[in-house]
Every structure is written in structure tokens, then in C-alpha cells.
Amino acid sequence: MKFLLYTVIIVVGLMQGCMTNPVTGRKSLDLVPASEMQSMSYTEYGTFLSSHKLSSNEEQSAMVTRVGTRIQKAVEAYMTQNKKSKNLNGFKWEFHLVEDPTVNAWCMPGGKVVVYTGIMPLIKNETDLAVVLGHEIAHAIANHGAERMSEGMVQQLGGVALSVAMSNKPAQTRALFAQAYNAGTQVGIMLPYSRLHESEADHMGLIFMSIAGYNPDEAINFWEGMKAASGGKGPNDLLSTHPSDDKRIADIKSWLPEVKQKYYKP
Ligand SMILES: [Zn+2]
């Protein structure tokens, strides 16, 4: 059965689409065109914002916009330098701090970012926020949600074309999107990203924060703090329940010399 599933994934992947990570070069299954992902993202983002209250803390809200915009400029600079600016076609960046006690943040396709007030007590300064936003924005730049959604489509909808799925099974398609982005306001399911995706987002986030002028060494302290804060909490992109927090920190330490040398110009 597993063999059959993998065969289907490979065949469908070859027939319909693959994407290459703009930073790591890894190839992944991608059945959902970026324009479709963005259009679903913009709808879900609007729904999320209309059912949540924006933070009334002007100072913190301004910090989210300021740091988010610096990471955005860094991503744009990286993409221009590497001749991959078309990966950002259709992006409509937005940054909001919402009232919600959950320790969380995410970025949906097209640069739609939300930070929850629940994470702010763990943010000591702008650099900590740059670690979070670099990581979350990296998930979007790497199209991790599209990859999760593509795998979900193969498993749950038999890998049918998205246009067919959307017209025949709109509820399932929407649920898959929500699950893929942990933005499950309708279904209430929060899935942690896989270890591979986490690792990619950590590495890319380190590069983006460095280009934005934040010292990437600070990422170590931040993740140490998150590790200490994560005891017993539910699955969540930032407070992971992975037993691999030490691996994450060790990986970041191993990437730092190269990242700093290539991208950090204080
Ligand atoms: Zn993550």
C-alpha cells in the first residue's frame, strides 16, 4: 500500500509539478500553482483577521511591522541577487499582531504574516522577533505549505488536479489548506511541520535575518528560551514537541560561521 502511494506521488509529481527550493535546491512535490495558493491564502487571511482582534499595543504592533518589513526587504534582496525574483510574484506582504494568548506566529503564501500577542513575553528585543519572522517567512518562501497540501491531496483526494478538487470538493480543499498552514480556524487542527521543513526554515531564516542586519548568533539564545518554554505545551510551529530541540540548536551552530561570513554585514 505504501509502495503504491509512493508510486502515485512520484508519477503525479512528474506529471504535474515539482518545485525547487530557492535557497537549498531541494526538489519537492508541488501540485498547487502559486497563484492558487495565494488566492486561498488571501481569503483565509481575511477570514482570520476578521475573527481576531488586532493588538491595541501600538509599540509592539509597530515593532512587528518594522521587523517584518526588514525581513521582507532581505528576502527580496536575496531573490534578486539569485535571479529568483519571480518566486515572489503576486506577493502582497502584510504584518499584524493579533490578541491571542497562544505562543505562535505564521506566514501564509504571498507574505501574509500574523504574530500572536502570546509570544511577545518571549521576545526580548527586535532580534528575537527577527528569528521568529525569518523562520516563519522561510516556510512560505520554501512553499512548505504547498508541499504539505500536495501530499495531502495525493493521500486524501487521490492527487486529482486542484481545479477539479476545488470545484468537486471545495470543503476538503479548504481544510487541506488550513491544515497545511496551521491556520485551521475552521477545522482546529494544528500539525507541526516535519523535521525537514523545520530544518530548512531554520537555515533560511538565519540567512534572511542576517541580510536584514540582525546578528544571527542571537538565534541560539532564542531557541534555547523556546526549548525551556515548550515543556508540556501542545504541538505548535514554534513551541515544538519534537524531541529534537537540541538537534535544532546544534544545526544552527553548525550553519552560523558560513551564514555570518556570507550574509551578515553589521
Ligand atoms: Zn517552523
Q: Are strands 27-29 and 18-20 parallel, antiparallel or unpaired?
A: antiparallel
C-alpha of residue 197 to centroid of ligand 1, in Å: 7
What separation in Å is there between the alpha carbon of 202 and the centre of ligand 1? 7
All cell numbers assigned to 54: 488586532
Protein residues with C-beta less than 5 angstroms from the ion ligand 1? 193, 198, 201, 237
Q: Answer yes or no: is pLDDT of 183 > 90.
A: no
- What's the confidence (pLDDT) of residue 186? 33
- How many Å lie between the centroid of ligand 1 and the Cα of residue 102? 15
3-state secondary structure the chain: CHHHHHHHHHHHHHHHCEEECCCCCCEEECCCCHHHHHHHHHHHHHHHHHCCCECCCHHHHHHHHHHHHHHHHHHHHHHHHCCCHHHHCCCCCEEEEECCCCCCEEEECCCEEEEEHHHHHHCCCHHHHHHHHHHHHHHHHCCHHHHHHHHHHHHHHCCCCHHHHHHHCHHHHHHHHHHHCCCCCCCCCCCCCCHHHHHHHHHHHHHHHHHCCCCCCHHHHHHHHHHHHCCCCCCCCCCCCCCCHHHHHHHHHHHHHHHHHHHCCC
- Cβ burial of 210 (10 Å; 0-12, 13-18, 19+) is buried
Percent of the chain at pLDDT > 70 equals: 78
Greater pLDDT, 81 or 165: 81
Active site members: 136
pTM: 0.83
Least confident range of 143-147, 167-171, 179-183, 203-207:
179-183
| 200 CA → ligand 1 middle, Å | 9
Cα 222 to middle of ligand 1, angstroms: 14
Q: Which residue is listed with cell 526587504?
A: 73
Distance CA 43, CA 31 (A): 20
What is the phi/psi pair of residue 265, to 5°? Answer: -120, 85
Q: Which residues contact 153 (CB under 8 A, 6 or more apart)?
A: 31, 32, 159, 160, 162, 165, 176
pLDDT tens for residues 22-68? 888 888 777 778 888 899 889 989 999 999 999 999 999 999 999 99
Q: What is the pLDDT of residues 60-119, one digit of tens each?
A: 999 999 999 999 999 999 999 999 999 999 999 999 999 998 888 889 999 999 999 999
CA of 198 to the centre of ligand 1 (A): 5
